[in-house]
Structure formats: C-alpha cells, structure tokens
Structure 1
Amino acid sequence: MNAGRDAQAAATERALARAHGLANAFLASLAERAVSRAPSPDEMAAALDEPLPETGSDPAAVVDEWFERAERGITASPGPRFFGFVTGGVTPAALAGDWLASAIDQNAGLWASSPAAAQTELVVLRWLKELFGLPVEWAGALTSGATMANLVGLIAARQWAGRRLGFDAAAEGLAGHSPIVVVASTEIHLSAVKCLGTLGLGRKQVRKASAPGGSVDIAALATLLRDIDGPVIIVGNAAEVNSGHFDDIAALADLRDSHPGGAWLHVDGAFGLFASASPRLAHLTRGIERADSVASDAHKWLNVPYDSGFAFVRDGAILREAFAASGAYVVGSGGWDPFTHVPEMSRRFRGLAAWCALKAFGREGYRALVERCVDHAAAFARWVEATPDVELMNPAPLNIVCFRIVREGCGKAATDELNRLAVRAIQEDGRAFVTGTIWNGQAAIRAAFDNWQTTLDDVAMLQAAVKDVATSLTP
C-alpha cells in the first residue's frame, strides 16, 4: 500500500465525480436555461479575478468554486438555441470521447508518443474524405479549427509558389524574393486573411474580386488573374460566413488550370464543406475535389467539442516540406508523425472525439443532421420574409440566415443602430443567441443553424425572441 498514492487517487476520484456532476447538471439544463446572461467585463472580473493563491486547495472544491463563480458568464453554446457565429453542439459520443482523451492524456504529435492517437487520426481523416467525396490519397491533419486549417493549406500553397519562383519559402524565408500573389473575393474570411499575415504574405496584399450576393464574380477574378504573370494562390469560399453563399469552385479550378504562371486553389470550407455530405446539397461544392487544399472546422457541423478542425492537401510532399523540422531527440518510429503536417510538435488527442462522433452517427447520421439544419434555416428565412418589420438581407442557400429589423420611414443610420441594439437585446433576452454583422454596408443580424439538438420548437423560440425585440425597440 502507498498512502500517498491512495490519497492522490481518492482526490482525483472526488474531483472527477464533482466535474461529472456539474457537467451533467449543465447539459440537462441546456433546453431551458438562458442562452446568455450577457454579463459585463467588470462583472466577470469581479467574479473571477484574484491574486495567485499562496497555498493549494482540494481539487473537487476548486472545480466547484470556479463553476459557481463563473456561471453567469457561461453561455449555453452547446445548446439548441445558440445561433451565433457558426457554432455546433457536442454529440454524446464526441463528448465522451473528449473526456476520455483528457483522462488518457496522449500527445498526438508523433507516432512514438502515441501509436493509438496517430492511427486514430489517420482513420478519422480517411473517414472525413469519404464523407465529403475528396480523393482518399490527399494528405491531411486535424487542427485546432478552420483558422489553423487555413494556415496549413496556405503554408503548403506558399511553399508551392516559392518553388515555382525558384526558392524554398520555408527554409529561406520571403525576403529578397519575388512576392507571392494571392487573389480572393471581397468575402474572404478574416481567418484566411489572418493566416496570410502570419505567413508573411500580407493581409493588405490580397487582390480582391467583387462578390455580388456573396459569390465571387468569376469574370472579375479572371480579369485579375490576366494581370498576374507568375504563380498565384486563389482562395475560394465554401461558403461565405454572412449568408452561406458559395463560390463556383469548379469555375475557380478552371481558372487555376488555365493560368499560364500556375495557380494553387485553396478552399475555405469551414462549414460549407459539409454540404458535400448531403446528396441534396452536394451541388453547392461541385468541383471541390479539384482543389489543391481544403480547410474546415470539426467543432461546427461535425459537432465535436472545441477546439477541432481539419485540413487536406493534394500534394503531401509539398506539405511535409513546408513543415520540415528535425532534432536529435526526435527519432523516427516507423509510423505516421502528425507533426510533419501541422505547426505544432505537441498536440491534443482531438482524433478521439472525432472518431467517436463519426462512428456513432455514420454517413447517414451526418447527412440527416446537415439537411435538418438547412431545413431549419429555410423555415426561419421563410418566417422572416412573411413577418412585418423584419427583412431578409440575402437568400439562404445553406444554414445561415442574414436579416434585419426595419421601420417604415427610418433612415439608414437609425436602422443600423436599431439592429445593433437588437442583437444585444436578443442576447440579453436569453431565449436565443444571435450575432450581428455588416452586409452590403448595412448593419444586420445572423442566425446560424448547425447544432444536432435544434428542433423546430427552438426555431419558434428564436422567432418569438426576434419578434418581441422588433416590436419593443424604438429607433
């Protein structure tokens, strides 16, 4: 018997039991609890800020104390009425897998550190390619989300472009070499722009074509490409984040193929890639199998816990070249080393939650989930069109509805302010959570539908909250 270890085991068991109890109670409350209480920064600082403790505390008591102090700031984002941003829920299998991943605490960076984690990730990547109809031979890796997935795709694109220009971008850097040109639409997502800045390609250097209605104007993009002599990186959307409209990916691939200097097509499919999982919606992503790289989120429509995403790259060799690194203590082990495909050396075992989610739902489960969410978005869009004082800003082809509250005789500035107030009022109301945006220069409201638990009753609660706020607010 080891008294010290017995005490540690007992403390661990108590802490896990308390966390399990708090988690179960929270999950059971999701259908009824306020989605947000909209606390102020000062309120949250008062609740949580304190000096570093000088001595320790019982682990179970620590968990209990944090939850009690932080609860006002915990949104019901895994719940069925969180329509803000593009936020999925967490399926039971995914949650269980994530809990287990924390308990077994595997480093998913190298095969040697966890053969189970590395092989699980390989299986998940193959399943995802099968789900979306992507070529099975493509390389890929799990990431922290679509932002990091965009970074993976774009760093491979940068490496390819550097090679076309006669240098090794990863080894030599960009200084002193010809600039690498990037073209996209005006609806390029901020995460892709952030990645371009991180990679030294320049946030302000993107040449943008117009995107009327959210989809890139192919003729305008072709005009941009005609003025570029050398290699170019094309960034396409599947789909844009304000109303879910897709670029014509097949047409982008045609432009890529015909560009004399060579081109790399990267597709940001953070949530839109999931249209490929539905025969009814797959036409929206036509041509995506012709891309050179694709980025997507798993914590959106796959409904696994934060954080999780994935990237696929056609040319595995150029991807590995971009991330090449060696050290005396990093010894090859004969299996797949994920760190050769991503920036991190050490990584959380995200593959377990994704494996459990895909195994539990299967292809048919995700097809049904995607189609159900799209049907919910369509139902809400129809309600918006039929409701006085509410206006649809753009058709909703997928799962995002962009709308605004209007008043007869109200000018642009007053209408914009009305909608900014409406977003806050809906969030404070607690029945549903939405987020604001700017569409065609006008303040608007977005509702995104991608949670596995959402029903038409939840859509009706969103409608009631919007209607009540629209009626009560004064411009």
Structure 2
Amino acid sequence: MSDPLDERDRAGDPLAVVAREAGAYLESLRERLVHDGTKDALLDDLDGPLPVTGDGAVAAVQELVRIGTGAATHSSGPRFFHFVVGGSTPAAIAGDWTASLLDQVAGMWPASPLATRAETVVLRWLKELFGLPESFGGVLTPSATLAHVAGLACARYWWADKYGVDVTSRGLAGLPVMPVFSSGLVHVSTRKALQILGCGRDTLRTFARDDAGRVDLDAMDAALARVGGRAVIVANLGEVNTGDSDPIADLADLAERHGAWLHVDGAFGLFAALSPRTAHLARGVERADSVTADGHKWLNVPYESGFSFVRDQAWLSRAFGAWGAAYLPDADGERVNYNMLGPESSRRARALPIWATLRAYGRDGYREMVERHLDVAAHLGELVEAAPDLELLAPVQLCIACFRFRPDGVPEERLDALNARLGEALLADGRVYAGTSTYRGMTVFRPAPVNWRTTKADVERLVDVVRELGAAVAD
C-alpha cells in the first residue's frame, strides 16, 4: 500500500477496528493492572525502519491497538492515582473521536463555524458550572500550563501598559522585572508559564507563614505596598500534595486594595465550586482577573484540555491578537477567532468532547461525581488513620490524601528512603498506581482519586497493596 487515496472507499475500516476493540478494553479496565511491566517488550514492536511500502490502514491500526492495549499505562482505569489525572467519560471519548473524525480547523470562524460556536458554548457552560460571571472572556487551551500562559500574558500586557509600553509589539526590553507574588502552594506550571513569557521562572516570590506553604498575607500586603500595586498575585486553589488552597477572597481583597492583578490557578481545585461542601474554598474566584483550570483532570475529558478565563476579554485580544496579517479575518460578535485569544494558532476542536460530556451528564452529574470523589478521598484518609503503619500528614480537604508508610521501629531519618523504595515497588507492582512526592521535607504518597470510575473499593485496594508492599520492602 503506497497512497491513502487507494483506500478512499474503505476509509471507515480502520475506525471499525478501534470501535470493535474499544468495548472489551474499556470493560477490562476494572481489573487490569494499571501498568504491566511484562508487556513493556511490546514497545519494541513500535520500532523499526520507516516502511517503504506501507501495510495499509487496517493492518497498521490493528497493530497499534494490539501494542497499545497491552503496553499502555491504563490511566483511564479506576486505580490510577498518580499525579492528578482523570479518565475520560464515555461521552467525552466519543466526542473526542468526533473531533478527530471531523478534523476541524478550530482557530477561525470562516474555517469552522461549528468548532467556534462549540467553543463559545462550552466556555459559557463552564462559567456556569464554576460560578464565574458570564461577562468573563475565555479560551480553550491544551493544558493548565498553556492556560496560565494565556492568563499571565494578559497580566503582563496590563502590567506593561502601566509603564506606557505595548508589550505585544515591543517586548519586555527596558522594563523592570514584573513582580509576581504567591504563597508556598504555587505549582511549577505557573513558573513555567512565566518562563515561556520571558518574565523569568524564578522571579516569582513566595510569602509563606509555615512549612506547609500557607500564605503570609501581612508580608504580601507589605510587598505590594512597596511596588505600588504594580504586581501580579497568584492564588492557588488546590495544591497537588494535600489539596490545600489559598484564601482566595483575602487575596482578592489585597488585589483590590493595591490595584494588583489576581490570577487564580484552579487546575483541579476550581471544581470545589461544584459542591456546597467545598464551595467555600472557591469563594472569591469570581473577583479574579484571570482563572485557569484543566479539563483532563476533574472534568474527565481526554488529554489535552485546559481553559483560561479573563475578566475582560479585551486583554486576551491585546495579548494574542493584532497579528497584522491581511488574510486573517477580524472577529464579529459570535464569529470569534480563538487563535487570536490564546497561544495557539493551529487548534483542534477540543470543545467537542467537552460539549459531549457536559451535555451528557450536566451540572448535577458533575456535582455527584465530585462529591463521590470527596467521599472516596475522605474514606482513604480514614483508612490511613486507622492503619497502624500509615501516617496521614494533612487533613483531607478535596480529592487528595497525603500520607506515608511509617512502621514501628523505623527511625525518622530512614523513613524517606523507605517510602522512596515503596514508591518504586508500588509502580512496578502495577495493581494500583500512586507515586511519591515531597511535602514539608518528607517523602510522601499523595494519591488523587478523580477518575469517574473510582469508588471506595479502589482506595481500599490501594491501602492493602501499600501495606503489603511496605512490609516487604521494610524487611
């Protein structure tokens, strides 16, 4: 086979291969190992010289499905607790297949009114879901990091404008360092966004009152006064080790008092707004100048999905638009050109899986899922506290339980090495997946149950496996 044109009358056949295998694979996720190291040998089957004459679409896709279903890390299953990774709901998977099927050019209205209108609709639905004002502008991005880039690019434009500089056209040359203040809960993705924007990864200053990173409001207040309010405050809603959050409303008060820009990192914590039990954590987000979150975390849509909301959409246009290319059309009402409101030019129609899942399950369905995960995480915390060889290191506030293995007789100075070995053993074992992190100087586990399939039985299994392997590595 040498030319895809030869297969134009059978173009749907490769899709049928995937559809035929999808049901059995998805059903198997309930009992599969999250990762089976014995199947890593299949990865070699991906390799080899570039074919001169191809195998044809059906044969190639059959081989890809065979290798993938065997060698993949099955992060769509219910026991992948590493990082903060959701699965993909059935509707979201189908919506993503539809996005690939239609292959829309999603950046400009003339190229795809469908993709543009879908993005406009889902941004409105997401604002309703999170309780953000309808007047906020927004754009879909590939990730929370790129959502930070969008929001902080607006902040950078706002800040440079105070010096009379159009940073979009002139850049940062000649300007002082843009002050960016946060608590110790700040995530590395914020620093990466500042790095991409040319502001400097390490220019961000943290103000923490304890070794958990909680914000020192008085120290930040004084720092804002010293720079005359020309600064960006980054508030963190949901920290990755414990789920802890900054007091958003208090930081909004600081921003308002000093005239600073407030950016909220709500990568997964923004979903706290969905439940009356946790909505207080998100109080004040509606007062922010920019807000970011991930879709491939608690929204349970496929990678890659993020969203950025900005109080005044004009800032997005100033930060990313005005290219000066005559062939690119201007926006007109709902005929938005989203490639002029964010960091991407070529964009896939990532609104379609979001539209499908929100249409399928609605506000109530997502509230129920979030509250189930809150219950699952709380149950995990209770199991840890009840186990004599486990130690809960922080209150369970959202979807993360932070703990370590601490058997009797092991001195404090050996616990970090012991937990690191246990982390390696846990990932190699594959029955459950939860890696280690560092919290308050300690090596810890911080499993995050945010997959729509996950139930209390899955975290019970996690605790059983951790204790079993812990006993083995401690000998």
TM-score by structure 1 length? 0.95
Q: 1:410 Cα deviation (Å)? A: 2.5
Indicate the SS of the match to 2:401: strand
Query: CA–CA distance in 2 between the matches of 1:423 and 1:328?
Result: 55
* Residue equivalent to 1:469: 469
Amino acid paired to 1:299: H
Range with greater deviation from structure 2 (451-460 or 79-88): 451-460
* Residue equivalent to 1:83: 81
Range with greater deviation from structure 2 (424-433 or 241-250): 424-433
**1:128 equivalent among 102, 126, 129:** 126
**Residues 1:291 and 2:288 aligned together:** yes
* Residue equivalent to 1:457: 457
Any idea what the Cα deviations from partners look like across 1:341-393, whole Å, max 9, x if unmatched?
11111211011100111111111111111111011000000110110111111
Q: How do 1:267-346 and structure 2 match up within 5 A? A: 267-324=264-321, 325-332=323-330, 334=332, 335-346=335-346
Any idea what the Cα deviations from partners look like across 1:236-262, whole Å, max 9, x if unmatched?
100111110010000001111112xx3
**1:202 equivalent among 180, 200, 203:** 200
- Is this contact kept in 2: 1:15–1:60, CA < 8 A? yes
Query: CA–CA distance in 2 between the matches of 1:38 and 1:256?
Result: 50
**Residues 1:33 and 2:35 aligned together:** no
- Is this contact kept in 1: 2:152–2:263, CA < 8 A? yes
Query: CA–CA distance in 2 between the matches of 1:52 and 1:39?
Result: 26
Any idea what the Cα deviations from partners look like across 1:90-135, whole Å, max 9, x if unmatched?
1111111111111011111001111011011111011111111101
Any idea what the Cα deviations from partners look like across 1:424-471, whole Å, max 9, x if unmatched?
212222221112100011111110011111112212211211121122
**Residues 1:62 and 2:57 aligned together:** no
- Is this contact kept in 2: 1:165–1:178, CA < 8 A? no
Amino acid paired to 1:77: S
In structure 2, relative to structure 1, the CA distance for the partners of 1:290 and 1:7 (3 Å cut) is same
Q: 1:48 Cα deviation (Å)? A: 2.5
**Residues 1:148 and 2:146 aligned together:** yes
Q: How do 1:83-232 and structure 2 match up within 5 A? A: 83-210=81-208, 212=210, 213-229=212-228, 231-232=230-231
In structure 2, relative to structure 1, the CA distance for the partners of 1:6 and 1:320 (3 Å cut) is closer
* Residue equivalent to 2:395: 395
Indicate the SS of the match to 1:473: helix
Amino acid paired to 1:215: R
* Residue equivalent to 1:363: 363
Range with greater deviation from structure 2 (408-417 or 137-146): 408-417
Query: CA–CA distance in 1 between the matches of 2:412 and 2:66?
Result: 43
**Residues 1:375 and 2:368 aligned together:** no
Indicate the SS of the match to 1:140: strand
Query: CA–CA distance in 1 between the matches of 2:358 and 2:235?
Result: 27
Q: Which runs of 5+ in 2 are unaligned?
A: none
* Residue equivalent to 2:263: 266
In structure 2, relative to structure 1, the CA distance for the partners of 1:59 and 1:394 (3 Å cut) is same
Query: CA–CA distance in 2 between the matches of 1:40 and 1:17?
Result: 25
Q: Give 4+ residue runs of structure 1 displaced > 4 Å after superposition.
A: 4-7, 38-41
- Is this contact kept in 1: 2:43–2:67, CA < 8 A? no
Query: CA–CA distance in 1 between the matches of 2:132 and 2:4?
Result: 49
Q: 1:227 Cα deviation (Å)? A: 3.0
Query: CA–CA distance in 1 between the matches of 2:153 and 2:131?
Result: 24
Query: CA–CA distance in 2 between the matches of 1:52 and 1:220?
Result: 59
- Is this contact kept in 1: 2:39–2:70, CA < 8 A? no
In structure 2, relative to structure 1, the CA distance for the partners of 1:433 and 1:308 (3 Å cut) is same
Query: CA–CA distance in 2 between the matches of 1:35 and 1:178?
Result: 49
Q: 1:323 Cα deviation (Å)? A: 0.4
- Is this contact kept in 2: 1:390–1:470, CA < 8 A? no
Amino acid paired to 1:78: S
Q: 1:232 Cα deviation (Å)? A: 0.1
Query: CA–CA distance in 2 between the matches of 1:436 and 1:382?
Result: 20
Query: CA–CA distance in 1 between the matches of 2:219 and 2:410?
Result: 35
Range with greater deviation from structure 2 (247-256 or 182-191): 182-191
Query: CA–CA distance in 2 between the matches of 1:410 and 1:46?
Result: 42
What is the number of equivalent residue pairs in this alignment? 469
- Is this contact kept in 2: 1:48–1:70, CA < 8 A? no
Indicate the SS of the match to 1:266: strand
Q: How do 1:6-25 and structure 2 match up within 5 A? A: 8-25=7-24
Query: CA–CA distance in 2 between the matches of 1:70 and 1:360?
Result: 28
Q: Which runs of 5+ in 1 are unaligned?
A: none
Q: 1:6 Cα deviation (Å)? A: 9.2
Any idea what the Cα deviations from partners look like across 1:274-308, whole Å, max 9, x if unmatched?
01011221001111100000000011111111111
Amino acid paired to 1:340: M
Amino acid paired to 1:13: G
Range with greater deviation from structure 2 (5-14 or 232-241): 5-14
- Is this contact kept in 2: 1:107–1:349, CA < 8 A? yes
Indicate the SS of the match to 1:401: coil
TM-score by structure 2 length? 0.95
- Is this contact kept in 1: 2:233–2:261, CA < 8 A? yes
Q: 1:71 Cα deviation (Å)? A: 4.3
Any idea what the Cα deviations from partners look like across 1:300-345, whole Å, max 9, x if unmatched?
1111111111110002112210002231221336411111211111
Range with greater deviation from structure 2 (237-246 or 419-428): 419-428
Indicate the SS of the match to 1:65: helix
Any idea what the Cα deviations from partners look like across 1:164-220, whole Å, max 9, x if unmatched?
122111111001112211111122111110000111111111111115334322223
Amino acid paired to 1:216: V
Query: CA–CA distance in 2 between the matches of 1:328 and 1:447?
Result: 50
Amino acid paired to 1:161: W
